Structure 1
Amino acid sequence: MDSTLWLPTAYEHIAKCTSTGREASKFLSLAQLLPAAVQLFVSLLVDPLAAMAGSLKWPACFLLLCSAIGNFVYSLTAPGGIDNVWAIVGARSLLGLASGSASLAMAYLTVSTAADKRIEAMSLFRTFGGVAMVLGPLLSIPLTRVHFDVGHGGFQVDGSNAPIFFAALTSLVIACLVAVLLKDKSRPVHNAFVPLIGFFSAKDGRWKIPCLILGLMLVSAYLSANVLFLLSELLAHRWQIGITLASGVQAIVFALSLLASIACGRLQQWILDRTQKGDTAASGSDTVEKSTTKDHQFTQAASQAAAAKVQAETLLTQGFQVISIIAVVLILLSLCFKTGSAATAVVFAIGCALAMMGYNIQAASLPSLFSQSFPADVRATLVPWYAATVAAGKLAAPPITETIGNSNGHGWAASQSVPLVLGLGAIAVLALASKRLVGVCITHSSK
């Protein structure tokens, strides 16, 4: 919820401590870049270190407290408080550290759920993440109406920092709930990096499929980070939409992406039912003639069910690629018009909504597919790499958008469309590779 609660008001809040709009855009990009860099390293290291410490619960509590502190410092950064724009960047970097709690949450789900329940657990985790993304802009709408002075130094609690004060309180409450209610599932491991070395040095090349899945998520995260950056900046700067209305537009975008995440589970079950019906019809005539043992029949049925689940997830992944290509084309069309008319704003918002829908479809299907591609001894350690890949995509977006795009608040097509075209090309390359992913994963699951 932090990521969407701060974005509707981020540009206005940063502008309080800067002198020009271009400088505010630069620090907005930096406030997204550095947290993503911190999240990348934390996601890679937090789970092995937590395994060595023998706990998933208390590191998660510590990271949630970091989130509360980071949001509180961010909210105080304003004239009359901490009047320094670098304090905003530092607070956001602390929130990048706190984002490691998502990696620990995925690791906790991996070690505490059975294999047949893991897909459902991961889907629910992603669905609640989508709910939080929608709640962020929705909560910011009434909070943008808040306005009062604190003390005699001129510090004000207003629409740009009141939502972040609320986020700090929420993180503190969640940290307390985790400390009281969560049972620790982790066991001490003397060296959690040894299984990783064995996995990546295996001669059978089993690491290739997880790397391809990570590549798909990397591109997805890159596109979503570009969308979030452009959505926050262009609504406020190019179309000069008020902070309350901008929060409403972003809430609609995230609500549509949440519906896509929920529909993903329904689509997955529909594909699964169709696949299993086809397999049953094809093998029905052979069942009478074959005399196999019950154990063999049970094993064969389990393998077919696992293969069907993998096929459903990979088909949904390919659906993300189609939706994302359409979304990027719509966003590019809206950027091609130099006018700040309402029509281009509507096309832009539709493109952003489709892009986030595609992102949520992939985010709902890939985590379980990723976890199934590992042996059991490294699964809990490598699953957080998924979150690290998301962080890497977020890390790549701001510098590419600012350096190549040369964002100036006017949205000229020749500058801001280049980062999106790069993402479009990456989707096309990985779409060709993912055709092989379907067959390989089904073969792997049926063994």
Structure 2
Amino acid sequence: MSASVIDFVATEARFGAHNYEPIGVVLSRGEGVWVWDTEGNRYLDCLSAYSAVSQGHCHPKILAAMVEQAHRLTLTSRAFHNDQLAPFYEEIAALTGSHKVLPMNSGAEAVESAIKSVRKWGYEVKGVPDGQAEIIVCANNFHGRTLGIVGFSTDPDTRTHFGPFAPGFKIIPFGDATALAEAITPNTVAFLVEPIQGEAGVILPPAGYFAEVRELCTTNNVMLVLDEIQTGLGRTGKLLAEQHEGIEADVTLLGKALSGGFYPVSAVLSNNDVLGTLRPGQHGSTFGGNPLACAVARAALRVLTEEGMIENAARQGARFLEGLKDIRANTIREVRGRGLMLAVELHPEAGRARRYCEALQSKGILAKDTHEQTIRIAPPLVITSDEVDWALERLATTLTQDFS
């Protein structure tokens, strides 16, 4: 690293909490699928800020909407109406087929909001005795990092020394419909689950799993809550990942790509029963639904659909997945994914995935490791065939590299 890069990293380490372990690059500019560091080196971004910049870095139309709205009105709080919130509601509801929308800021806030809402629905509509509502979640889940959420995580790094935790959650294996059936009781109000477990290493459920889940939830009057914060808005080659199995969630959580990376925006989408139980003063957010956020989100949704990004994710994702499967390397244990949400899992004897990510950096690709042995690959949805092929060449070279 050059002296200037070392200075940035050292200053960050001196003043910042050490709750991240970033790859050793200092980025200063981005456009489309590309980012540049402070030294002028260019990289293909294969993380997309965990899918937050699905529309590509600094998309000009989203930028224009943000700048225009910033000149007009940025924040009113929900104490007053603003002229961007109603159009945002209308447009996202029409796009997703939702009946009610609750705007928040971060993905974790959306999850927390959903937990509160389904519990309230359970008491006031389903008739669960007060204080006894149960929510079923999956092992190896990732729904955020708030205290409420980490309480039902199974990741020791996430949980250790942060307790005590709130009760009311049951943990079952992901992809096991029988386990779900056995876990449901009369007090179960919801099943909270990711369509694909992203942080766990892009883990896909068995075919037909979510069709069974949907049937079980309907039969037992349990709300199916799909956390589509990473998988939603085109990442898997469909608007929502639920569409791959032809189901509809009762509650859908969106975030990340909802703003194209310009601003924290998230949303809880639901039927009337769940969000319809909320009354003034029972839940809120000073910044949730602010005019700047709504204007940015409206533009982000428009470019996603009008520019064919979802269809491109399906095409390029299939190309990328096939190309990864064609790499003949003893290091690779499995390649998996859907759309542009992909992963390469390495054999334990290949060593930590991080060293491969560092090697990729030297070849102009930024990717991120997870759970020691897995490299996640999730470029912006605007990636072209030529760029996919360019990335595959470098991935093949790196994955066959001898680190001994």
User: TM-score under structure 1 normalisation?
Assistant: 0.25
Q: Which has the higher contact order (CA 8 A, sep 6+)?
A: 1
For normalisation by structure 2, the TM-score amounts to 0.27
> Which has the larger strand fraction?
2
